[in-house]
Amino acid sequence: MLFSNSVLGTSKNYSLKTIKDIAALANVSIGTVDRVIHNRPGVSEKTRASIEKLIKEHNFQVNKTARTLALNKKYDIAVLIPESESDSDFWNFPRKGIEKASEEIEIHRTSVRYFYFNQFDPNAFNKAFDELLEDSFDAVLLTPIFLEETQERLKHLERRNIPYAFINVELPNSNNVLYIGQHSYDSGTLAAKLMSLLLGSDADTLVIKVRKDNNHHSSIDNRISGFKSYFTAKKSTSTIYDVVLPNTKDQNAINEIISNQLVNSEIKGLFVPSSKVSLVARFLETAKLQHLKLIGYDLNDENIHYIKNETIDFLIDQNAFFQGYEGTKTLFNYLINDIIPEKNIYLPIKLLTKENVEYL
């Protein structure tokens, strides 16, 4: 009968014990059992041992619901993410995901407070993070865009035993509970594969960075590394050019820079490892160069426009809403229910084309 459960294909466990049961079996009071469960001092070695034995034997686990109620605690989660610059800004997606999750968990006495910063300004990041640190929170969900600035401040959280999770941007070698986001390198490799399919031969390509994106997170660089790695692995003889666009709103200036790159070259495909791909799409439209292949990242109104008219061939989407939604819920479950998630959740790469962009 030992294996009857598995034979029946069930995980039912009808013998859930309570601390009262354990206390009775050990001939002690529930207070003493509680002390053992939480490793609190003031229990003789003998009783501690006997209680620990019973706990193991009966596979006793604390009833979290009762615990939560008894503690009667409110949980405050802090969220530190870039502010949205417009209604179609990428950062609306994670924020909306967080808000959705936040609505769902609000009833569990959990509140979410937002701290926003300008994603291009390390000082703004510092300021927002410092403001966050002034208050006390039970957990922090953040996008660690600026490397050193983040690391310095994470130490404060660790000193206070405040768990934190990353969304969208990874920061290796941290004690984060969770990273949820894209595998940037892989997305670049896929972009390269698609690009070489589009070009059909060993045509040259141009990687276009935007300076604004330059001084922060490593995702952009990882995407580029992934992109280039594909051609290296294929022992391709084609050339991959690089260019960085300045921080300007002057589309003419941008057009000229790209134009100069293309002239006298065999470049047939353009890869923009960020949502700023629309800048390049605008150029292609003006210059009537839409036959050149263009792959970029992220959904926003402009990008949607350009993928519909096929100026952009592929957009790689980051599931940003889901990052925010799932990140928040996972952190909540960690906090309230002691549910320890996998450290890295790499969301699948969502490929958008003219054909499927409508449905989103």
Partner DNA sequence: CTGAAAGCGCTTACAG
Is 43 or 294 the residue whose CB approaches a second copy more closely? 294
Please report whether residue 12 would count as binding a second copy according to CB under 8 A. Answer: yes
Q: How far is the CB of 89 from a second copy (least distance, A)?
A: 16
**Residue 284, binding choice from DNA, a second copy, none, Cβ under 5 to 8 Å by partner class:** none
Burial bucket for residue 359 (CB in 10 Å: 0-12, 13-18, 19+): exposed
Long-range pairs for 306-311: beta carbons < 8 A, 24 or more residues apart = 306/277, 306/278, 306/281, 307/352, 307/353, 307/354, 307/357, 308/354, 308/357, 310/354, 311/281, 311/284, 311/285
* Cβ(69)–Cβ(103) below 8 Å: no
**Residue 337, binding choice from a second copy, DNA, none, Cβ under 5 to 8 Å by partner class:** a second copy
Show the tokens assigned to 121.
């300004």
Element (H, E) at 65: helix 64-71
* Cβ(26)–Cβ(34) below 8 Å: no
Q: How far is the CB of 70 from DNA (least distance, A)?
A: 3
**Residue 178, binding choice from a second copy, DNA, none, Cβ under 5 to 8 Å by partner class:** none
Site residues for a second copy, 298-327, by CB under 8 A, read: 317, 319
* Interacting residues with DNA (CB under 7 A): 18-20, 27-32, 34-35, 37-38, 41-48, 62-63, 66-67, 69-72
Q: How far is the CB of 272 from a second copy (least distance, A)?
A: 19
* Cβ(106)–Cβ(141) below 8 Å: no
**Residue 359, binding choice from DNA, a second copy, none, Cβ under 5 to 8 Å by partner class:** a second copy
Which one of 29, 61, 248, 251 is in contact with a second copy (CB under 8 A)?
61
Please report whether residue 238 would count as binding a second copy according to CB under 8 A. Answer: no
Site residues for a second copy, 330-349, by CB under 8 A, read: 333, 337, 339, 347-349
Which one of 49, 66, 244, 253 is in contact with a second copy (CB under 8 A)?
66
Please report whether residue 172 would count as binding a second copy according to CB under 8 A. Answer: no
Which range binds a second copy by CB under 8 A, 62-70, 144-152, 157-165, 269-277? 62-70
Show the tokens assigned to 348.
């699948």
Q: How far is the CB of 69 from DNA (least distance, A)?
A: 4
* Cβ(174)–Cβ(166) below 8 Å: yes
Please report whether residue 131 would count as binding a second copy according to CB under 8 A. Answer: no
